[in-house]
Amino acid sequence: MTEPSVFTRIIDREIPAEIVHEDDLVIALRDIAPQAPVHVLVVPKDPQYADVAELAAGDPALLAHVVATAKRIAEAEAGGEFRLIFNTGAGAGQTVFHVHAHVLAGGLEESRLA
Ligand code: AMP
């Protein structure tokens, strides 16, 4: 059996986090190392999908729910505009292999994609 991810441990309340939204399907929490004024992670509770490609193939409705949750958070915190990032693979910077969306918002006008 593989170890539960840090996000599963947060979902199970084994480690603390600043949770901004939770429903039956997803949890949203503030990133511990924020890269923008708003930096929230939206995480499906189902741990079986390691990345967004697996999620899109396996449960597109759940991926749509992740995106809708990101929109709702951006509306509540930053006027509704946001950047949505899914690092996919270690070579692309993914460090937690439990799919999650980075919702970045606020003060992004000058930033550039790498
Ligand atoms: P990624 O590198 O795309 O896999 O993103 C993982 C993200 O999880 C990073 O931005 C980390 O800062 C964040 N992170 C790791 N541990 C925690 C934690 N305990 N609470 C909140 N965010 C975390």
pLDDT tens for each residue of 39-54: 999 999 999 999 999 9
Judge residue 55's burial from the number of C-beta atoms within 10 Å of its C-beta, 0-12 exposed, 13-18 middle, 19 or more buried. buried
Candidate from 14, 27, 41 with most ligand 1 atoms within 8 A of CB, to mutate: 41
pLDDT in tens, 9-31: 999 999 999 999 999 999 999 99
The domains found in the chain, sorted by start residue, are 6-108 (3.30.428.10)
Atom of ligand 1 nearest to the CA of 97: 4
Using DSSP, state whether 69 is helix, strand or coil.
helix
Report the percentage of the chain scoring pLDDT > 90: 91
Residue 33 CA: nearest ligand 1 atom is 12
Nearest to 17 by CA among 100, 84, 110, 86: 100
What's the mean pLDDT in 72-92? 97
Res 114 pLDDT > 60: no
Task: Confirm whether 100 is a catalytic residue.
Answer: yes
The reported pLDDT for the residue numbered 111 is 80
